[in-house]
Structure 1
Amino acid sequence: MRHAQARIAQWMEDCKRNHPNCLGGAPMPLPTRVIAVGTEGAEPFLYETKGAMGQYTALSHCWGPPDKRPPTTVRANLSVRKRGIPIGELSPTFLEAVQLTRALGIPYLWIDSLCIIQDDERDWAREAARMADVYTNAALTISATGAADSKVGLLQPVSSRKLPPSMLLDTGPGEASEELRRIYGRRTDLQETIDDLFAPHIVERSAARDNAEPLFSRAWTLQEWVLSRRVVHFATGELLWDCLGAEGCECQGARLVPRQGRHGIWRRVFEPGSEVDKNRLEDPEWVWRKTVMIFTSRQITYDSDKLPALSGVAKSLAAERPADGGYIAGHWRSELPLSLLWRRGYMFGTKTPTSRPAKYHAPSWSWASVNGPIWYGDQHRGDICCKALDVSYELASPLNPYGALQSASLVVSGMIANVGGCVDIDHEDLTRGLRKPVDVMFISDIWEEGMARTTQDVVFLLVLSEWDSYSRELRCDGLALLAADSVGGVDRFTRVGKLSLTVGPRTGAEKKWRKSIKSKAELDEIWMAEFRASERTIIII
């Protein structure tokens, strides 16, 4: 551990001296509670900061299964924790985090399980809402990247084989393309790294990718990494350094490698005091959708934590995007209705079951209402065909405006079509011609192995349409909805999936007819007449 402490101290000093965007070692507002680590031989204790300033480290770790859960603070032991936390009660990971914090000369350490009162719902909600500040203000985030639980410890066995550096993890979308900013580290004998898992559409393979290190499989830890100024990863095999200005690994020695324009977009968005020209950044809507895709591919223990586990990222983005009109249920108001075009995260890859949570915490139109990976397509093109008129909601806790909900409804105005019976694509061909020349593709939000082949009578809300002048086809994307009830004369619906229509000739015998199509308006008339479409205002719940 002493060697690791010395190397991390070198990296910290290099960063403080050469990376102004990492904010040096200035005192920051302390979280509500921190662990005062003291000196060697002293007993750490829980310190209630009451708005004090100072320096602290933060631990990012996997809690592990119930039989390996870390020590926690609850109402019954809070007063005892304030007097002292016996070293013998600390798990190996927690103890090594205390030792590292002491070695760096930093007086305080923040650990979620000890610094949040776990059986106090109000305290938990308040602290979850402050997660953005906790990790942004930490002098260093200590990441137990290679440990599946806190009983393993920070340091992981190093392979006896000396292999060259290779990519271990991606760190978010690149600055000007689909490229990924990478951190390099040495492979271990058995570790499957990102090099082995890389695919052009990284999120389609994210579940496999995240198996590279235990911490990357957990949903909560995504924002812990994203929001941090500096992170040291205790990975399987060696240490990795990741800050706003540089990256490094043990195999490269003490030298840190400047990013040289390879900052991930997340770093640019969340970088304190950044003077980056916003016009050079990639589309922030795309950034958020990529974030959602990566986040939902990870595992989360409690369904109700889904929105709170991303609330820190949402809060940070909200500060960067004041013109977006607010955030609700995982969506930005300015992105509605296009952001509604998410779907279950499977097409041609491995099928992953999805389900609805047992307890409500998000409306059906929110990706957070589905347990399982979510996928957004490429940048949406075409004409927006409906309007989001109003959003109303009630928070589960007023302490976290970016967290779970008690209820929510979305009022939209657009073209509604009676499509009738639809069967999920998992039960038949990718496209299904219901009535030529209109093909319908229905992707249900919910899927599980052995699910009955059922037909649902759905209506189609048209969100986006694109006219392809070359193929003479009209492509329409929207939502599959089921009627729920009526309130005040306005019909209410629940979302059950994503639905796409392709309008146009499908066979060689129709080539003559294809050439006769001159405009989008002609195809609009065809599908609207076919499905008895009409302009309506509805509520989606």
Structure 2
Amino acid sequence: MGEPDQRALWMSGPQVSFASRLLQLKTRLRECRELHEECKTTNTIMPTRLVEITRTSDFSVRLVNSNDLEAGLIKYTALSHCWGTIDDGPPKTTMRNFKAPADQIPWNDLPQTFRDAIKVTNALDMRYIWIDSLCIIQDDEKDWQREAARMAGVFGGSDLIIAAADSYNSHVGLFLDSIAPPSIHFKENDSSIRMVRFSPATFNRLSSTFLNDRGWVFQELLLSKRKVQFGQDQLY
């Protein structure tokens, strides 16, 4: 490799928008669906409830009962995320606020991580997402026990797990628009300029995120056919 260029050695990375990465994400998803035989299995165990996404000019979301949907034909994503503390935890479905059929959930009442995950699901042309705090009635012991027993089917049956890897609570978001790692420029012997981008070791970086530091996440990621982990600097 040649000598460092005679300009500022370190350059902060440019902002990378989610829109610019969406095509690659769609391509990887399509390739997995079409080419990976072990990922083509259809799970007929549906979660009891899903969040249904409708997009006109704005997003509209509501809880729906999966009994009203065709099992095995519905593609849905599942959100893997850190809840945070009692004070900054996510909104929950409780016996007090649960309605069937459910009313629309006000968009502004949803924390940033939920909104980002819904945007990703919609961008990938899917209409349903499973979010634990919304799809399980949190203070109903029977409902919680029943849904907890289905957890393997919920994550195994999802078309994609959206993992909020660097979010310590539901308000941080998925970092849809991130900053690329810094780079350094080198001048080659032929006077051309080369750029090397520095990025932390992927495995070490990913294993040390807030989400992957939690033991219960292991089963979620192990059971999934496909997953995308949203970090501060890139997708994994």
TM-score of the pair, normalised by structure 2: 0.78
* 94 and 122 in structure 1: CA distance in 2 versus 1, 3 angstrom threshold: same
Which residue does 2:198 correspond to in 1? 163
Does structure 1 residue 32 correspond to structure 2 residue 48?
A: yes
Deviations, residues 131-173 of structure 1 (Å, cap 9, x unaligned): 000000000000001111110101164354131562325xxxx
CA distance in 2, matches of 1:107, 1:5: 17
Q: C-alpha offsets along residues 305-335 of structure 1, whole Å, 9 cap, x if unaligned?
A: xxxxxxxxxxxxxxxxxxxxxxxxxxxxxxx
Say which is worse superposed, 157-166 or 81-90, in terms of deviation. 157-166
Counterpart of 1:224 in structure 2 is 220
Corresponding position: 1:18 with 2:39: no
Hey, what does 1:118 align to over in structure 2? 138
> What is residue 85 of structure 1 aligned with on the other side?
105
1:239 maps to a residue whose letter is L
Please give the alpha-carbon distance, in whole angstroms, between the structure 2 residues aligned to 1:234 and 1:81: 33
What amino acid sits opposite 1:14 in the alignment? Answer: E
User: Structure 1 segments of 4 or more deviating over 6 A?
Assistant: none
Q: 2:20 and 2:180 mapped to 1: Cα distance?
A: 17
Q: How much does 1:82 deviate?
A: 1.2
Q: Which residue in the other structure is 2:210 paired with?
A: 214
After superposition, residues 243-258 of structure 1 pair within 5 angstroms as none
Query: Counterpart of 1:70?
Result: 90
- C-alpha distance in 2, partners of 1:29/1:139? 13
Number of residue pairs matched?
200
| 1:71 CA displacement | 1.0
Residue type of the alignment partner of 1:16: R
Q: What's the secondary structure of 1:11's corresponding residue?
A: helix
Ranges in structure 1 where 5+ consecutive residues have no aligned partner = 170-192, 195-209, 241-541
**Aligned with residue 44 of structure 1, among 48, 61, 64:** 61
- CA 1:84/1:33 → structure 2, altered by over 3 Å: closer, same or farther? same
Identity among equivalent pairs (%)? 36
Aligned in 2, Cα 1:82/1:3: closer, same or farther, shift over 3 Å? farther
Report the Cα distance in structure 2 between the residues aligned to 1:90 and 1:80, rounded to whole angstroms. Answer: 20
Does the CA-based 8 Å contact 1:30-1:55 persist in structure 2?
A: no
**1:433-483 alpha-carbon deviations (Å, 9 max, x no partner):** xxxxxxxxxxxxxxxxxxxxxxxxxxxxxxxxxxxxxxxxxxxxxxxxxxx
DSSP-derived class of the 2:97 partner: helix
Normalised by the size of structure 1, how large is the TM-score? 0.35
Q: Is the 8 A contact 2:26 2:124 kept in 1?
A: yes
Confirm or deny: 8 A CA contact 1:33 1:47 kept in the other structure: yes
Compare the two structures and name the one with the higher strand fraction.
Answer: 1
> C-alpha deviations, 1:189-236, integer Å up to 9, x for none?
xxxx47xxxxxxxxxxxxxxx5x2000122221111111110001023
1:68, distance to aligned residue in structure 2 (A): 1.4
Q: Distance in 2 between matches of 1:17 and 1:221?
A: 27
Name the counterpart of 2:149. 129
In structure 1, the residue matched to 2:5 is none
Query: What is residue 24 of structure 2 aligned with on the other side?
Result: 7
- Which amino acid in structure 2 is aligned with residue 52 of structure 1? E
Greater Rg by CA: 1
Is residue 181–residue 199 contact of structure 2 (8 Å, CA) maintained in 1? Answer: no
- Partners of 2:54 and 2:61 within 8 A in 1: yes
- The reply to whether residue 236 of structure 1 matches residue 232 of structure 2 is yes
SS of corresponding position for 1:136? helix
Find the aligned partners of 1:75 and 1:36 in 2 and give their Cα distance: 20
Native 8 Å contact 2:76 2:129 kept in 1:
yes
Q: Which has the higher contact order (CA 8 A, sep 6+)?
A: 2
Q: Which secondary structure state, in structure 1, belongs to the residue aligned with residue 30 of structure 2?
A: helix
Summarize the Cα distance change of 1:86–1:6 in structure 2 as closer, same or farther, 3 Å threshold. farther
**SS in structure 1 at match of 2:171:** coil
Aligned runs of 1:195-206 on 2, under 5 Å? none
CA-atom RMSD in angstroms: 2.1
In the alignment, is the contact (CA less than 8 A) between 1:59 and 1:111 conserved in 2? yes
After superposition, give the CA deviation of every residue in 1:92-132 in whole Å (9 maximum; x if it has no partner).
11011111111111121000000000011111111111000
Q: Matched residue of 2:29: which SS? A: helix
| Counterpart secondary structure, 1:100 | helix
Deviation at 1:15, TM superposition (A): 1.1
CA separation of 1:146/1:94 partners in 2, compared to 1, >3 Å: closer, same or farther?
Answer: same
